[in-house]
Structure 1
């Protein structure tokens, strides 16, 4: 889960709606009819239109408030279509989106807390064309990949939980980071369910107001603190280890029902880079274990998987963008390789050993990739 930090990206609702469908608009409306302005302040969430045609749309989102905010697009049952966190004050960006007819809510969360300030919106009608068959294949392949990651996570999580229940701190520490890799690779899909991420991946400072860390904090990071900071495993930790496995089994079962489309894949890849920029590079994600580089690599791998599957269509529509993405992915992966002695392994340098200058170099490489990656969704639907 991302920390509450200012960010230079402001595309939340736009990226959110992008996940709803994979059809592109045929014929289309005037450019102005396709643009929906979302203005977030500390106490308002204003949208320029509450009803708009389904199909190809573009959201222009701006945070005019004084607080860092996040914007969600939600189904009526509160499942997350998609979201963007860490939207800094005074920032804005335009993002390509695709929507199918239906009811949704746009929620702005000033301070990144609570259920947010919500606006009911509706996508109606819309003339759509059949999706490029290559994109249907990309979605199918990505769905299989997400399911595989969930399936492979369970035995690793069970190994971690068993070590905790046995009171074996050394074994639990060894099993901790590997148990998170599949989750980190596919986190945007996992977060789309809304209720699973707060159970398994929240940090103490991510708890909602009124929640008590002693009773309400669960998941990996609660156990991380017990292992590395407290240095002890009690009855509560053993109970939480079992609960973590049960919550991950729930995630595994529900992955098959996730809303996945070409544009949600593209925007999910960008979200994974934002995860790196706001949590891993800063060292805040794994603040006790310092296994941030494992998460970092997994996020990049997940982003690259989406990109690789969408690349044939993106190359046809925007060859220059693909060339730049290839270059930046290679550069970032090469930089990460400096921090693992054995190529292909997940035995990365402990992040507390990575100096300020090196962290800045990693941050710059992430930003260099994130900027062109933010254009992938638009390239896919051209």
Structure 2
């Protein structure tokens, strides 16, 4: 795994295409009145499930007893088209977006942590419309949506890690094993954020070999992984590498509790950071070039660690990490792709090549499973298939490497 990364990579990971949401004024809302949303402790009730394409306004009222937020999500249920947060109990706020024809989801998140409540389908019909706002405003919107995506992922990561850590500390290894790759997917989509914060990523996600090489205490996901999947005697077994099982003993109950508490505390630090002004300032300093560079960096994560099977050595869950990195990279590209396509025929052709590269790589990954249904153990992926995956990564990496330069022309 690539561990040293510039701050430009922080603005990476995924969001929705810029065409999905534009910078608009409330006065531009079409004659149809604003949609109303009631966010309660257990529901997210929208006044209509359909609308006509164009500028939409959602007036969100919080009838619950916790601060809440409201999301309009793209059809994949992950990309954020628009969001409004920090709605206090009894207060109302308005989300205004330019919505293209398509299928979406609405969702509220009482407490601003977890998966949210009241997720429901929302259909936009009509003709495609152009998002309003000048170029600078559109680019700022892209950065704002990225910030919203990161917050959403960390808000899901924190309670998932708390549950995972509790299962591990209590000795419920079966539950912890099942949760391990799914919890990590949230982290893998936003990993460059932690990598920008000094020793935070090493605490959360260093492999044993990385920690030993740098003389660090080994903690985090992979330290827990080694307890959950007892090392086989042939792991890392070669003439010049010490076998993983040698001089190893399972953690005591007290040690397990310590590793569990440490992981939760480190993820809490990440949570606090992405909800801070420092995070906002870092993203704005990098702009859309940071998002583009991040799409490239996340693909590098796959090429430099996941494809070799070195990431999740004992669990064999590398394909979950692989898929989450690709997913994040693709969404970052989709956010800035319109800026590249606007640079003329060459830019449009570059975008087409990148889109085709992602489609080919995703199709190959789908033969092994999915993030929702699960993947096969990475040991089942043959050397020939790993070579095929490497070829697909390289085929995508070449045009993707030109993305930032094209955007900045």
Give the TM-score taking structure 2 as reference length: 0.60
Change (3 A) 1:147 1:18: closer
Superposition CA RMSD, Å? 2.4
Q: CA deviation at 1:207?
A: 1.8
Quick one: which of 332, 338, 342 aligns to 1:306?
332
Q: Deviations over 1:214-272 (max 9, x none)?
A: xx111001111111125945221221011101100100110243322211111111111
Distance in 2 (CA, whole Å) between partners of 1:285 and 1:376 is 27
Change (3 A) 1:201 1:13: closer
Quick one: which of 179, 183, 186 aligns to 1:179?
183
* Residue equivalent to 1:351: 378
Three-state SS of the structure 2 residue aligned to 1:167 is coil
Q: Deviations over 1:313-358 (max 9, x none)?
A: 1111211110001100111111110001xx6625011101111001
* Residue equivalent to 2:156: 152
Quick one: which of 260, 263, 269 aligns to 1:241?
260
Distance in 1 (CA, whole Å) between partners of 2:160 and 2:150 is 16
Change (3 A) 1:355 1:205: same
Distance in 1 (CA, whole Å) between partners of 2:159 and 2:373 is 17
* Residue equivalent to 1:89: none
Q: Would the aligned equivalents of 1:169 and 1:227 in 2 still touch at CA under 8 Å?
A: yes
Q: Would the aligned equivalents of 1:173 and 1:227 in 2 still touch at CA under 8 Å?
A: yes
* Residue equivalent to 1:255: 274
Distance in 2 (CA, whole Å) between partners of 1:168 and 1:17 is 35
Q: Would the aligned equivalents of 1:294 and 1:346 in 2 still touch at CA under 8 Å?
A: no
Change (3 A) 1:14 1:364: farther
Distance in 1 (CA, whole Å) between partners of 2:142 and 2:350 is 19
* Residue equivalent to 1:378: 405
Q: Would the aligned equivalents of 2:10 and 2:193 in 1 still touch at CA under 8 Å?
A: no
Q: Would the aligned equivalents of 1:270 and 1:303 in 2 still touch at CA under 8 Å?
A: yes
Q: Deviations over 1:255-303 (max 9, x none)?
A: 2433222111111111111110111110000111110000000001111
**Larger Rg belongs to:** 2
Give 5+ residue unaligned stretches, structure 1.
5-11, 20-129
Structure of greater relative contact order (alpha carbons < 8 Å, 6+ residues apart): 2
Give 5+ residue unaligned stretches, structure 2.
13-133, 232-248
Q: Deviations over 1:69-99 (max 9, x none)?
A: xxxxxxxxxxxxxxxxxxxxxxxxxxxxxxx
Q: Would the aligned equivalents of 1:3 and 1:279 in 2 still touch at CA under 8 Å?
A: no
Q: Would the aligned equivalents of 2:11 and 2:291 in 1 still touch at CA under 8 Å?
A: no
Three-state SS of the structure 1 residue aligned to 2:375 is coil
Distance in 2 (CA, whole Å) between partners of 1:147 and 1:210 is 30
Q: CA deviation at 1:15?
A: 6.0
Q: Would the aligned equivalents of 2:340 and 2:348 in 1 still touch at CA under 8 Å?
A: yes
Structure 1 residue ranges (4+ consecutive) displaced by more than 4 angstroms after TM superposition: 12-19, 230-233
Q: CA deviation at 1:312?
A: 1.4
* Residue equivalent to 1:141: 145
Matches of residues 256-335 of structure 1 in structure 2 within 5 Å? 256=275, 257-258=278-279, 259-260=282-283, 261-317=287-343, 318-335=347-364
Distance in 2 (CA, whole Å) between partners of 1:344 and 1:18 is 23
Quick one: which of 309, 323, 336 aligns to 2:365?
336
Q: CA deviation at 1:195?
A: 2.2
Give the TM-score taking structure 1 as reference length: 0.64
* Residue equivalent to 2:128: none
Q: CA deviation at 1:368?
A: 1.1
Change (3 A) 1:17 1:184: closer
Q: Which moved more, 1:222-231 or 1:279-288?
A: 222-231
Change (3 A) 1:267 1:221: same
Three-state SS of the structure 2 residue aligned to 1:320 is helix
Q: Would the aligned equivalents of 2:10 and 2:196 in 1 still touch at CA under 8 Å?
A: no
Q: Would the aligned equivalents of 2:154 and 2:187 in 1 still touch at CA under 8 Å?
A: yes
* Residue equivalent to 2:43: none
Quick one: which of 183, 189, 194 aligns to 1:190?
194
Q: CA deviation at 1:377?
A: 1.0
Three-state SS of the structure 2 residue aligned to 1:186 is helix
